[in-house]
Amino acid sequence: MSHNTFGHLFRVTTFGESHGPALGCVVDGCPPGIELTEADIQPFLDKRRPGQSKYTTQRQEKDQVKILSGTFEGKTTGTSIGLLIENTDQRSKDYGEIKDKYRPGHADYTYDAKYGFRDYRGGGRSSARETAMRVAAGAVARKVLPPEIVIKGGLIRMGDKAVPDDVRDWDAVDNNPFFAPDTATAEEFAGYLDGIRKKGSSVGAVIEVIASGVPAGWGAPVYGKLDAELALAMMSINAVKGVEIGAGMDAAKLTGEENADEMRFDADGKPEFTSNNNGGVLGGISTGQDVVVRFSVKPTSSILTPRATIDKNGKETEIVTKGRHDPCVGIRAVPIGEAMMACVLADQFLRHRGQCG
């Protein structure tokens, strides 16, 4: 993995800023002969696309993906797949404030510290638009995976409202603007976020992503652990501050008796576990249970309340970040988390096949 590349055998390299001409990515290592057209990718981009409800930014980006290479007659050739999305809504505006002032909670200050200057238009490379290419690559990854693997994601917490632990109605996810796996909680979210939005504030979220159908045996001990790579993948998403597998941080509160997932055989004589505290991963290798990952997304720092900051000329000042921002960026992180899950699994699948045949 390098600065802009993710993965090993299934590798994704992205480029592009929100205010340049285009975003793109290269998917390398995809097996040959897989049916792939733009129609396999576009629905996932549409799901991530902003401006679909009042709860996400009102910027309008069509996010129309083009496959530039790597397919022939509708099938992957085994060579590198180039994907491109042209930027269409680069609304010309006055960047005056952002140009010199460091927005608290944004990467403005750290970019300047690292590189000596920065592309301040729309956050440059730290813009959430980069994640469009993750979603596109994730759509390719899904096609690489065996069809029995199903990846589902949902927003399970927003501020202090949360989907109860024992409720996961995955069918509900596509029927509310929050991707919440529970209709009742979605209604709570609606009222809650309306309040946040009207105040010009923002709020954080927790996303859960589950992959079912993953066979036992994917992953590796030590540094190539399946869960370690999921942690890398999720923490690499903008604004993510925590990643959990299975029982997660609360594993610290459990005793050995509570935590140990006991084993039995199911009716078909297949091994099964009576619980899934381990989130489908033991010793870095999949158990055959659902792989369960959660991650937190911090509230966007673009809010209407003025915050104290400094500018690059050495003056203390304050800033209000106007513009078309998401009151809860966590919502749009749902398809991104699903995409990263798909990329990690596709990579581990190919590596497992390489080593173990």
Q: Which of residues 234-263 bind a copy of itself (CB under 8 A)?
A: 234-236, 238, 241-263
Scanning 35-43, 54-62, 112-120, 176-184 for contacts with a copy of itself by CB under 8 A, the matching segment is: 112-120
Q: Is 20 in the site for a copy of itself (CB under 8 A)?
A: yes
- Radius of gyration of the chain from its Cα atoms, rounded to whole angstroms: 21
User: Nearest approach, Cβ of 85 to a copy of itself (angstroms)?
Assistant: 11
Question: Which of 92/274 has CB closer to a copy of itself?
Answer: 274
Q: Is 64 in the site for a copy of itself (CB under 8 A)?
A: no
Question: Which of 171/226 has CB closer to a copy of itself?
Answer: 226
Q: Which of residues 132-191 bind a copy of itself (CB under 8 A)?
A: 157-160
In whole angstroms, give the CA distance from residue 153 to residue 292. 10
Question: How many degrees, rounded to 5, is the angle at CA 210 between CA 206 and CA 215?
Answer: 155
Q: Is 196 in the site for a copy of itself (CB under 8 A)?
A: yes
Look-up: residue for tokens 């680069």? 90
Which element (helix H / strand E) includes 38? helix 38-48
Q: Which of residues 73-102 bind a copy of itself (CB under 8 A)?
A: 75, 77-82, 84, 102
User: Nearest approach, Cβ of 144 to a copy of itself (angstroms)?
Assistant: 10
Question: Which of 171/205 has CB closer to a copy of itself?
Answer: 205
Q: Which of residues 21-50 bind a copy of itself (CB under 8 A)?
A: 21-24, 26, 28-33
Q: Is 223 in the site for a copy of itself (CB under 8 A)?
A: yes
Question: In sequence order, what are the residues at sequence separation of 6 or more whose Cβ sits closer than 8 angstroms to the Cβ of residue 220?
Answer: 226, 284, 285, 348, 351
Q: Is 8 in the site for a copy of itself (CB under 8 A)?
A: yes
Q: Give the Å distances, CA to CA, from 336 to 213, 297, 343.
A: 20, 12, 11
Q: Is 229 in the site for a copy of itself (CB under 8 A)?
A: yes
Scanning 48-56, 90-98, 181-189, 215-223 for contacts with a copy of itself by CB under 8 A, the matching segment is: 215-223
Q: Give the Å distances, CA to CA, from 281 to 276, 291, 332.
A: 9, 7, 26
Q: Is 322 in the site for a copy of itself (CB under 8 A)?
A: no
Closest to 299 (Cα-Cα) out of 262, 329, 277, 266:
329
User: Nearest approach, Cβ of 230 to a copy of itself (angstroms)?
Assistant: 8
Question: Which of 3/174 has CB closer to a copy of itself?
Answer: 3
Contact present, 108 and 125 (Cβ < 8 Å): no
Contact present, 246 and 309 (Cβ < 8 Å): no
Helix (H, G, I), strand (E, B) or coil at 237: coil
Mask: binding to a copy of itself, 268-307, rule CB under 8 A, as x and -? -x-x--x--xxx-xxxxxxxx-----x-xxxxxxxx-x-x
Closest to 279 (Cα-Cα) out of 324, 244, 232:
244
